[in-house]
């Protein structure tokens, strides 16, 4: 049943169309203080936090997840070192931009609060 819906709604093609959009939106986050790397694959992305930030503040990943939630973005910490998002296949380009802006704000807010 789920596969029928995915096929009928063209969601695999939609994900393929949005993959470069998400990649282009998250790429500039690598320039933020406290960010070591940004990766994306399909409609998933991860923002890896800087090792120095994590050494000084081991719970920074959890703090960024909490800040993202306050900015309306549901995320999770991967191994405590990265922030991960997996938007639904029905997400719009505008919603992707809103998600990434929330992540940006969460990282900036957290790094500033931690003195990084």
Domain of residue 49 covers: 2-113
Confidence of residue 4 (pLDDT cuts 50, 70, 90): confident
The model's pLDDT over 67-88, given as tens digits with 9 standing for 90+, comes to 999 999 999 999 989 999 999 9
The pLDDT tens digits for 40-75 are 999 999 999 999 999 999 999 999 999 999 999 999
The beta-strand segments (E) located in 1-116 are: 35-41, 44-49, 76-78, 82-85
Q: How many domains does the chain have?
A: 1
Count CA within 13 A, CB hemisphere, residue 87.
28
CATH of the domain at 65: 3.90.1150.10
Cα 3–Cα 8–Cα 14 angle in degrees, nearest 5:
90
Number of H-type helices and E-type strands within the chain = 5, 4
Distance CA 88, CA 111 (A): 28
- Is the pTM higher than 0.85? The answer reads yes
């Amino acid at each position: 049943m789920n596969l029928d819906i995915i096929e009928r709604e063209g969601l695999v093609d939609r994900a393929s169309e949005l993959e470069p959009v998400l990649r282009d939106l998250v790429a500039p986050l690598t320039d933020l203080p406290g960010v070591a790397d940004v990766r994306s694959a399909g409609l998933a992305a991860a923002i890896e936090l800087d090792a120095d930030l994590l050494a000084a503040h081991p719970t920074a990943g959890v703090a960024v997840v909490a800040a993202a939630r306050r900015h309306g973005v549901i995320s999770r910490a991967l191994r405590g070192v990265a922030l991960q998002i997996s938007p639904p296949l029905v997400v719009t380009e505008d919603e992707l931009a809103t998600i990434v802006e929330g992540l940006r704000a969460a990282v900036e807010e957290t790094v500033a609060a931690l003195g990084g």
